[in-house]
């Protein structure tokens, strides 16, 4: 018997992962969630048919979305994680002792429950005593927040699905308002490679660029993402991701990582020409 999981990355490209068995399938008000075991990627979770993370490559974006801003901001005390119900981001944040509070806002309780059951290595991040999980729409949560956070991490991945509201001008505006005067927001910036992904990727940069004084983009290699190539956004009120990067301080912390290094931090902001060009076009639009 052959059992394959197929995901359409575009109308003309699909990614297939051989599956050993399906462990879970369920539907909430927000999405359909499936969990599989696979020989190559280990256990992975799909939302509405798209891979959200796998055991094999989740460390890449959890590390990249946490350590990059943490190595720039001199003192992060309060962090807001939008989405991130799997706990991977909270797990990386828990390495930092100066953090006092981590608010994780996830609309879908089923997602958290499924991650707790099938991905305990991620979900353990939610058990840190500094973490508070709130089951609420991210925009709704943010609306009442003003000048409260040092760092906001938008861990939602899909600008077209049920988290579309987290890729909008009002979201970036709400984050700006919720951050302290020296706050940073990082977010999943999508993949720029395929034609149909380019427009949302452009739109995100355009909105962030107009909402924050500093807005830069960095990259990582994530095999289960479309074209295996993924971008992150770094939007900041004060600190520059390279100018204010404190390599020595971060290395002294001795945090064990698999993807992120202080050298890679700098390299991640060096983008291919075509990406640089499309981002610059949006900045000058």
Q: Nearer to other proteins by C-beta: 130 or 162?
A: 162
Q: How far apart are CA 275 and CA 232, in angstroms?
A: 12
Pick from 55, 56, 135, 168: which binds other proteins (CB under 8 A)? 168
CA angle 251-224-41, nearest 5°? 85
Q: Where are the beta strands (DSSP E) in the chain?
A: 4-8, 14-18, 21-27, 32-38, 42-47, 50-54, 78-82, 101-105, 131-134, 149-154, 179-190, 214-221, 229-236
Write down the least CB distance from residue 173 to other proteins, Å.
4
Binding residues among 197-226 for other proteins as defined by CB under 8 A = none
- Please identify which residue in 18, 143, 221, 249 interacts with other proteins, judged by CB under 8 A: 143
| Spatial distance between the Cα atoms of 209 and 148, rounded to a whole number of angstroms | 22
> Any residues with CB less than 8 A from the CB of 155 and at least 6 apart, and which?
65, 81, 82, 83, 84, 89, 188
How far apart CA 151 and CA 79 sit, in angstroms, is: 5
Report if residue 169 touches other proteins, rule: CB under 8 A.
Answer: yes
Of 8, 13, 160, 164, the residue at the interface with other proteins (CB under 8 A) is 164
> Cβ distance 130 to 99 under 8 Å?
yes
Q: Contacting other proteins (CB under 8 A), which of 116, 145, 162, 202? A: 162
Active-site residue, 137 included: no
Find the shortest distance in angstroms from Cβ 166 to other proteins. Answer: 9
Distance, in Å, from the CA atom of 87 to the CA atom of 62, rounded to the nearest integer, reads 9
| Site size for other proteins (CB under 8 A) | 17
- Contact mark string toward other proteins, 88..127, x via CB under 8 A: -------------------x--------------------
Nearest to 200 by CA among 174, 178, 226, 221: 226
What's the closest the beta carbon of residue 219 comes to other proteins, in angstroms? Answer: 26
> What x/- string results for residues 46 through 85 when contact with other proteins is judged by CB under 8 A?
----------------------------------------
Cβ 206 to other proteins, closest distance in Å?
11
CB of 107 to other proteins, least distance (A): 7
* Residues 261, 247: Cα–Cα separation, whole Å: 9
Q: Looking at the annotation, which residues are catalytic?
A: 155
Site residues (CB under 8 A) for other proteins? 30, 107, 137, 139-140, 142-143, 162, 164-165, 168-171, 173-174, 177
């Amino acid at each position: 018997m052959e059992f394959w999981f197929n995901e359409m990355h575009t109308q003309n490209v699909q990614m297939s992962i051989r599956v050993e068995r399906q462990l879970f399938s369920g539907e909430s008000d927000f999405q359909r969630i499936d969990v599989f075991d696979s020989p190559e990627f280990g256990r992975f979770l799909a939302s509405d048919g798209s891979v959200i993370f796998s055991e094999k490559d989740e460390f890449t974006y959890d590390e990249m979305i946490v350590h990059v801003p943490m190595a720039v901001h001199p003192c992060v005390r309060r962090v807001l994680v939008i989405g991130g119900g799997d706990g991977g981001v909270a797990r990386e944040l828990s390495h930092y002792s100066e953090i006092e509070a981590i608010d994780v806002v996830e609309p879908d309780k089923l997602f958290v429950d499924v991650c707790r059951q099938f991905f305990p290595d991620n979900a353990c991040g939610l058990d840190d005593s500094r973490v508070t999980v709130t089951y609420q729409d991210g925009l709704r949560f943010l609306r009442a927040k003003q000048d409260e956070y040092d760092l906001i991490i938008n861990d939602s991945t899909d600008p077209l699905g049920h988290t579309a509201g987290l890729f909008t001008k009002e979201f970036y505006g709400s984050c700006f308002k919720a951050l302290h005067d020296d706050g940073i927001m990082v977010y999943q910036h999508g993949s720029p490679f395929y034609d149909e992904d380019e427009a949302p990727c452009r739109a995100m940069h355009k909105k962030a660029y107009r909402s924050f004084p500093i807005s830069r983009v960095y990259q990582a290699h994530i095999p289960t993402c479309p074209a295996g190539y993924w971008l992150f956004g770094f939007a900041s009120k004060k600190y520059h991701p390279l100018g204010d990067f404190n390599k020595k301080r971060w290395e002294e912390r001795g945090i064990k990582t698999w993807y992120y290094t202080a050298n890679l931090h700098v390299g991640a902001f060096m983008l291919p020409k075509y990406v640089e060009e499309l981002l610059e076009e949006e900045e000058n639009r």
